[in-house]
Structure 1
Amino acid sequence: MAQAVPDEVMMNADLIKDLADVAKDKALRQGVLMRIQETPNSSELVTYAPFTLFPTPVPKAVFLQALQVQIHFNTLVDKISQDPDFLREALASTIAVDDFTARLFRIHEQILKEGRSQSIVLGLNRSDYMLDQKNGKSSLKQIEINTVAASFAGISSRMPDVHRHVLKVAGQLEQSQKILDNNAAVGLAMGIAKAWELYGSDRAVIMFLVEENQRNIFDQRFIENELWMRNIPTIRKQFDDVLKTGFLDQEKRLFVDDHEVAVVYFRNGYMPENYISEQRWDARLLLERSRAVKCPDISTHLAGTKKVQQVLARPGVLEKFFPDQPQIVEQIIATFTGLYTLDMGTEGDKTVAMALAAPDQFVLKPQREGGGNNIYGSGISQVLEDGKDGTERMAYILMDKLHPKPGKNYLLRRDAPLEITNCLSELGVFGAYVRQGEEMVMNKCVGHLLRTKCSEDSDGGVAAGVAVLDNPLLI
C-alpha cells in the first residue's frame, strides 16, 4: 500500500520525533482524549487517545462504496428487527447454547408478547470493513455490523485536523488537503435529536446508559455537546441508577431520578459482564418495556449478532428483505466474505472439517461485542477439536480470514516506544436512521472511522487497547 509521506520523511528519526510531539499536542488541543487506565472515572489526569502519526492511504472507490452501501445496511437492520420469525429461526441454534444471547432473546420475546410500547425506532450503527487483497486488487469486505454502542464517532470527528496539521509540518501540503472532514458525532446526534423531537416532550431527557469504567467518556461528550447545543438535555446513568430510581408510570413513560426519559442511548449492556446480577437483567427489561425510544431496542440489538450476519450470507436470504430490488442485494452481497454455519448436521460438520484442515485461513467468531473475542489459528483447532461433536460449537460462526495489504506507520500510544510498524487498517462507516411506525423519517450515512493496528495483532479495537485511531487519505 502507498504511504502518506515519502520514505525520506518516514525514516528521518529526528523529524519523526518532532512530528510525534507536534501530533500529540495537536490531538490534546483537538480533544482526542481518553482518561488514563489508573483512574478511569476521573478527568483530573487524561491522555491522548492512541492514534497513528500519519493517515493511511485508502482507495477512493472503495471508500465511496462503503459510504454508499450504508443506507442499505441501515434499512436491512431495521427490516430484520421487524421480522420476529426470521430472528427466531436465525438464532434458534445459538440461543440453545449461548446463555447471553438467550437472555437477550427472552426479553425480545417478552416485549413481543406484551406489545411494543413505542413506535419510534432509532438506529445508530457502524459497519466495519477490511480491504481484502486478491490478484493485486482491493475489495471491500464486511467484518461485522455493530448495532449497539458503536463507539468513536466523537473522537474520530476530531482526527482530520490532527493529521492535516502533521502533514503540513512534514512538508506534505498537497497530501494534507486530501483528508476529508468527518462529522460522525454531528450525524449521530441528529438521529438522537430526531427521535427526541418525535417523542414529543420538551422536558424529557436523553439518557446515556454508561459503564462503570468510563475511560472513553470524551467520545460520548462530543455527542452530548451536540445535543445540548440543540437545547436537548442529557443525563448519564448506569444500570444500578436505573435499578434504584427507575420506574414506569401508568402510560409506561420511563422516569429515572425523576427525569422523564425520551431516549435511552445504550453505551453499555452489550457484554455478559455488563449483567453481573439478575437485577441488571431486570433493569434492561424495564427499559425495553418503557415508552422511551431505545437505541437500540432489543430486536435491533439481536439483528447485529454474528449468527444473523452468517444467515444473511446464505443464497436467497437478502432477497426476502429487498424483493424486486436486485441492485441493492448486489451492493450488499459485494461486501460479504465467506461465512459458514457451525450448527449440528452435515453442513456444520463440513465447516468443522474445513476449519481444522486450514485454521489459518479462518476466524472463529462468538456472539460477542467489544473487541478481543475472536479466535484465530491454533485457537480454532483447539476449540473445534474439543467441541466438534458437541453443541457448544453452535455458539460460534466461521468466517474467511481477510488479507489486507500492510502499510508502514508509527502508532502513538502513551508510554510506548516510537518505532515504525507494519500495520493493518479497518474502516468503519456510521449510519443513523429513525423510523416512526412504517415511515422511515431519516436514513443517512453520517461519517466514518479508520482504526489501525500492528499487523501482528489478530483482534481488538481501540478501547480494547490494540488498535489506534487513524484517518483515510483518499488515493
Structure 2
Amino acid sequence: MLSESTEMASTSVLFEWPPTLSNAQIHELTLLATSYAFSNGLLYLPPAERQPPIPESAIHAPLALFPSPFPRSLFEHAQRLQHIYNVLYARIAQDEEFLDRIMGTENGVGKVDDFIGQLWTGWKQLRDEGLVQPLHLGLFRSDYLLHTPPGQSPTLKQVEFNTISVSFGSLSERTAGLHRYLQASTQYYNTSPHLRLENFPENDTIAGLAEGLAAAHKAYGDEKSWILFVVQPDERNVFDQRPLEYKLLEKHSIHVIRQTFDELGHSATLDPDTRVLRVSCSPDLHPNGFLEISTVYFRAGYAPIEYQTSCQYQTRFLLERSRAINCPTIALQLAGGKKVQEVLTQPGVLEYFLSNEKKWGNPMFDKQELQELRQSFMKMWGLDVGKDLLTPDYDALESGKEGFGVAKARELALSLVLKPQREGGGNNVYKDSIPPFLDTLPPEERQAWIAMELIVPANGTGNYLIRAGGANEAAVKVVVVSELGIFGWALFGDKGADIREKEAGWLVRTKGKGSDEGGVATGFSVLDSVLLVDG
C-alpha cells in the first residue's frame, strides 16, 4: 500500500501540470508534433460540404503536446474493470426480457423515444421471424474521469459505456506513439522527473480491435468472406478506420469493403434459403461482382439523423436478418443506452447479471469485484421516477405534474448532467441549462432522460493544445479535463459457450475545462495519451 506522502505527491502532479516551457521549446515541440502527425497518419480529412471521391488533402488531428498525468493504480484498475464490463454487457444483450422492459415500446424508453422505438420494434419483428445468427460481436469503450472533490484523493468514475461505433482506437495508438517520440527525441527538455519512458504505457489498440473482428470472421467459418464496414457518407475520420482494415489484411488475411447505408440499400442482398449476406461490387474489382460478408462492423448507425427514411431502417434490419455477425447487433446497441446505465446502479441488478450462476454459468464475479464495479458509478436516476428513485411515478406522468425525479433534478441542477439515449456527443444538458430545459420537456418524454451527478475533475491541471485549420495553429496553454477510455471486445451468443473477451487498449481525450462536451470529432476535445504517476 502506498504511503500517504507518496499518494499526495503523485496526486499533486495533477495540479502542477504541464511543466513550464520557453517559447522556443513550445515552438519546437509543436513543429515536431505536427510533423509526426502528418508522417504517421494522425490525421483528419479537412471540413468540406462534400468530400471528394479521392482525398486531396488532410489536416492533423487536434493534439495535446504533453501526455496527461493519471494515477498508475487507477489506470490498471480501469483495465481490470474492462473484463467485467465486457461480460456484463454481453449478458445484457442476451437478456431479451430485460431489454424489452427497459428499452421497449410498451413501457420502456422506446415508448417515448422514436429512434429507440424504431430500433426495438424492428428487432422484435426479427426475433419473431427467427434470427439465424446467434453470435454477437461487441467492440466496446468504457469512458472514465478522475473524480477529485476538494481535499480528497482521485477515484475512478465512469462517464458512459459505448457499444456502437467506438472511435479513435487507431488515432489513440498514434497519439501514444507521438508522445513517446517527443520523450525520446527531446526528453521534454528535462522539465519534469515524471517524463520518463517507463511512464508512457504502450498502446496496441489497432491490433486489439482487429483481433475482435478477426475472431468474429473466423467464427463465421468462411475464410473467403469479407468484413463489411458500414460508414457515414463524407466521413472525415477515415484515418481512424483504415488502420483496422490494414491490420485485418496484414495480420489476418481478411479483406474489408466499406459502404454507406444508402449504398447498401442498392447493393446488399440475402440468399432466401441460407440468409447469406452478399454485397455487390464492380466486376472490375471482384470477378463474381459480389462479396459474401462474414461480419458487419458499424461505424455508422448510432444517430437518428442517419435514418432519414424507412429505407435506412430496412437496410439495418436486413443486415441483422442475415447470417453475418453484426458488431453491434441491435440488442447490443440498445444495451448501451443511458437508461440501461442508470438501471445498473439499482440494487440487485449487478448481482443478477454477474453473480447468478444458475442463469449465466461462468464466469462469476465475487462481492469485492461487484463492489469495485459499483464504486465506478456516479449517482443517477430517471426523470420519470418517484421518491424511491427507482419506480416510475405514473400519477405524475399521467397528470402532467412535476414528479420527484424532475424536482430533484431542479434542486441539484448545478451538480448534474441530463442525458438522453444518444451517442456521438453534443446531446446532453448541463447545470444551469437544466431548469429551463425541464420547463419545456413534455412529461411523456421524461422517461427518455436520466439525471447523473457530475464528476468533479482536478482543478488546475493544464496542457498545451494544438488544433489545425484555424488562423492560429500555435499551441495554447489551457486548464483541461482528461477522459480515459478503455477498449475491449466480446464475442458471445452460442448457448452454453463461454464469452470470449479481451481488454484492447485505451485512449485519452482532453478538453478545456470550460467545455462540458467531450467529442473529438465534434470539435470539443483533442487527442491525448497517458503519463502514469505512482499513486
- Measured against the shorter chain, the TM-score band is over 0.9
Q: Is 1:93 matched up with 2:105?
A: no
Q: Given the superposition, is the C-alpha separation of residues 166 and 2 from structure 1 closer, same or farther in structure 2, using an over 3 Å criterion?
A: farther
Aligned position for 1:237: 259
Counterpart amino acid of residue 267 in structure 2: T
Deviations 1:382-423 (A, max 9, x none): 121223x71122221000011111411111101244321000
Work out the CA distance in 2 between the residues paired with 1:200 and 1:240.
28
Q: Deviations over 1:35-60 (max 9, x none)?
A: 11126455211011111010000001
2:525 maps to which residue? 467
Corresponding residue number in structure 2 for 1:396: 449
Q: Would you say the 8 A contact 1:164–1:176 is kept in 2?
A: no
Distance in structure 1 (CA, Å) of the matches to 2:479 and 2:446: 34
1:337 match:
378
Q: Deviations over 1:444-464 (max 9, x none)?
A: 101001000000101131111
CA displacement, residues 122-151 of structure 1 (integer Å, 9 cap, x when unaligned): 111100011101332111111110000000
Equivalent residue in structure 2 for 1:69, among 64, 68, 81: 81
Q: Which residue is equivalent to 1:454?
A: 512
* Gaps in structure 1 of 5+ consecutive residues: none
Asked if structure 1 preserves the Cα contact closer than 8 Å seen for 2:70 and 2:532, the reply is: yes
Q: In the aligned structure 2, how far is the partner of 1:174 from the partner of 1:378?
A: 38
1:141 to 154, 157, 178: 157
Find the counterpart in structure 2 of residue 127 from structure 1.
142
Find the aligned partners of 1:69 and 1:126 in 2 and give their Cα distance: 12
Aligned counterpart, 2:419: 365
Report the Cα offset of residue 159 of structure 1.
1.5
Shifted more, 340-349 versus 459-468: the winner is 340-349
Query: What residue in structure 1 maps to residue 72 of structure 2?
Result: 60
Q: Does the aligned pair in 2 maintain the 1:9–1:15 contact within 8 Å?
A: no
| Change in CA separation of 1:333 and 1:104 when aligned onto 2, cut-off 3 Å | same
Q: In the alignment, residue 100 of structure 1 is paired with which amino acid?
A: F
Show the counterpart of 2:361: none
- 1:319 and 2:319 equivalent? no
Aligned partner (choices 293, 318, 335) of residue 325 of structure 2: 293
Give the match for residue 195 of structure 1. Answer: 216
Q: Is the 8 A contact 2:480 2:511 kept in 1?
A: yes
After the TM superposition, which residues 200-215 of structure 1 pair with which residues of structure 2 at under 5 Å, given as runs?
Answer: 200-215=221-236
Which residue, out of 35, 58, 78, partners 1:25?
A: 35
Q: Give the deviation of 1:102 after TM superposition.
A: 0.6
Distance 2:16 2:160 in 1: 33
Give the match's secondary structure for 2:154.
Answer: strand
Q: With the length of structure 2 as denominator, give the TM-score of the two structures.
A: 0.85
- Which has more radius of gyration? 2
Q: Could you say which residue in structure 2 is the equivalent of 1:16? A: 26
Which residue of structure 1 aligns with residue 397 of structure 2? Answer: none
The change in CA–CA distance for 1:285 and 1:447 in structure 2 (over 3 A counts) is: same
Give yes or no for contact 2:147–2:457 (8 Å, CA) kept in 1: yes
Q: 1:7 to 1:94 in 2, by over 3 A?
A: closer
Match of 1:268 among 279, 300, 312: 300
Q: Report the residue type matching 1:331 in the other structure.
A: E
User: Hey, what's the Cα distance between the residues in 1 that align with 2:13 and 2:476?
Assistant: 16
Match of 1:157 in 2: 173
Deviation at 1:322, TM superposition (A): 1.5
- What is the CA deviation profile of residues 250-271 of structure 1, one whole-angstrom value per residue up to 9, with x for unaligned ones? 2111111121110000000000
Query: Out of 178, 192, 195, which is 1:175 matched to?
Result: 195
Preserved contact between residue 228 and residue 296 of structure 2 (Cα < 8 Å):
yes
Q: Show the counterpart of 1:118.
A: 133
- Counterpart Cα distance in 2 of 1:174 and 1:458: 29
Question: What percentage of aligned pairs have identical amino acids?
Answer: 36
Instruction: Give 1:101 shift.
Output: 0.7
Per-residue deviation, 1:434: 1.3
Say whether the 8 Å CA contact 2:413–2:434 is kept in structure 1.
yes
Contact 2:225/2:294, CA 8 A, preserved across alignment: yes
Distance 1:471 1:280 in 2: 36
The structure-2 alpha-carbon separation of the partners of 1:174 and 1:190, relative to structure 1 and needing over 3 Å to count, comes to same
AA partner of residue 380 (structure 2): L
* Preserved CA contact (<8 Å) 2:303 2:424: yes
Deviation at 1:13, TM superposition (A): 1.7
Query: Is the 2:17–2:463 Cα contact (8 Å) retained in structure 1?
Result: no
3-state SS, counterpart of residue 157 of structure 1:
helix
CA drift at 1:331: 2.3
Pair 1:252 & 2:275 matched: yes
Amino acid at match of 1:369: E
Residues 359 and 8 (structure 1), Cα distance of their counterparts in 2 relative to 1, 3 Å cut: closer
Q: Specify the code of the residue in structure 2 equivalent to 1:424.
A: V
Between 1:376-385 and 1:298-307, the stretch displaced more is 376-385
Aligned-CA RMSD value: 1.9
Indicate yes or no: 2:223 matched with 1:223. no
Provide closer, same or farther for how the CA distance between residues 8 and 260 of structure 1 changes in structure 2, counting only shifts above 3 A: closer
Counterpart contact for 1:3–1:56, Cα < 8 Å:
no
Structure 2 gaps of 5+ residues are 1-10, 281-289, 357-364, 394-402
The offset of 1:277, in angstroms, is 1.1
Gap change, CA 1:5 and 1:182, over 3 Å in 2: farther
The letter for the 2-side match of 1:70 is Q
* Whole-Å separation in 1 of the counterparts to 2:127 and 2:380: 29
Separation of aligned partners in 2, 1:105 and 1:441: 24
Q: Is 2:467 the partner of 1:413?
A: yes
Aligned counterpart for 1:384 among listed residues 424, 435, 438 = 438
Q: Distance in 2 between matches of 1:196 and 1:307?
A: 31
